[in-house]
Chains A and B, each alone.
Chain A
């Protein structure tokens, strides 16, 4: 591979050259080695999802003898993956929106106004950040049961929103504190109320911060397993990670089926990610560096 890829690349290479042979070797070993691990694993699971057990046993690395979609059909019909996919989508989208709505309002107040107790409220959220969340499993279970929404999507949304609020508030307060005040002041002089300042000025310019927080919450909610496994018992309210975990049980050993479930759970996020990857990576980075 040639390092000289046009002018831009040359410039950057001049900034941070890795010149020694050993360095180069290390570089390509890591960059492509990690690539092959990640991509290879994905491909292997994909291949496996088209095989049945005897084929997996006889040729674990070979291409599948035919692209047989029966594992996928079984997963979508008999194991209800379609429903779980829908549940996961509802829970995740609602959690992200709720977290942002709750988080943005309080962050605006905390970042922009001096009032008694400001610091105290902020610290309450920062403490929440350090608590290992699974220590809340027991009380969350009993609380949800008390108010009667334990075994429902609404219960999951509530729990996920509560669990993700600390980091949302932490990120957004940090972000909003760094915003310039001029536009806001101009708006107030024009006679806008705080609500319209919030909606017209703060929310639009906070987009990168909201995006970062939203993505982090999205990933957390989409992939959450432990709380869901404790709270949800009805099949009708199960999310994707729960459905996936039930593939591995003492009664089931269809490896191809498990593989198809893994692929089914990755594909939707992968599509979203590939479409938005520029924004996601940029947003994640901006938010993390500033927060």
Chain B
């Protein structure tokens, strides 16, 4: 027994120490610094909740939060549904499905920087692929500067994010489909339901666990990935496309408002934890 305890420590301690020092301690210092005013150069001043009070009255923060929640909506109405249908059709082993699957997964392995650069080509107002295409088919009046036009900017900056992870959703859902027992589908066949009913009443409930995983994953990505915005518009023009991530980043590193940046970070942490708990409660997969 004594020997076993020693061995256990050897298995646990190295990782736990590493994790505590390089992950948990930074988390704690984010929390502590959010109660300070600090420009990174002068001394830290303890101001307790003042950063949070400013944050609650900061219209740009609300704007960025709304934009971030827009991403969450896009995950739910675009990313997961497209991923699901792609998985569903591929699952039917249409011709060339292996090749298709390979191609669909390419965006997932491509870096967000490369995807952003490719999309900046698409949106470029003067020779970009989108405007050129529109001109080619005679829809000149629809051309616009996609990344600065107030109507299109936020959607334009979001699409690379949606595009990036559709393939991931597809692969996960594909695996879920494969694990549906044959009997279940055959039972549906006997009842004579049509294709749509089959998806709604048989397929979707059986991949519920997997959908749950996709949802949690998608939402955490929506809060986490802001490199697209950083590279495509940097939150501009005039905060139109600001998301919480870019706002935090800019407050901290461009404006030297480290305390305030940390307060944004802590608030985001809180929001993500709450959302995750709520989804967990509502959709918790039954075993």
Contact = CB atoms under 8 A, between A and B. Distances in A.
Do the two chains touch directly in the complex (Cβ atoms below 8 Å apart)? yes
B199 to A, nearest CB: 9
Given A135-B30, A288-B210, A244 B113 contact: yes
A137 interface: yes
Contacts of A65: none
Given A165-B15, A248-B120, A139 B112 contact: no
A247 B12 contact: no
Contact of A139 (B10, B29, B210, B249): B29
B172 A289 contact: yes
Contacts of A277: 101-102, 105
A131 B276 CA distance: 11
A258 B117 contact: yes
A286 interface: yes
B55 interface: no
Contacts of A129: 220
A53 B175 CA distance: 44
Contacts, number: 278
B112 A138 contact: no
B35 interface: no
Choose among A8, A39, A266 the residue with the greatest number of B CB atoms under 10 Å from its CB.
Answer: A266
B12 A262 contact: no
B91 to A, nearest CB: 7
Contacts of B100: 31, 35
Contact of A41 (B113, B118, B174): B118
A92 B31 CA distance: 29
A130 B103 contact: no
Given A34-B104, A106-B12, A134-B248, A248 B112 contact: no
B185 interface: yes
B118 A262 contact: yes
What 3 pairs across the A-B complex have the smallest Cβ distances?
A: A285-B175, A135-B265, A139-B26
Given A3-B94, A130-B272, A135-B265, 7 more contacts: A5-B93, A143-B25, A219-B108, A219-B109, A230-B253, A286-B175, A291-B213
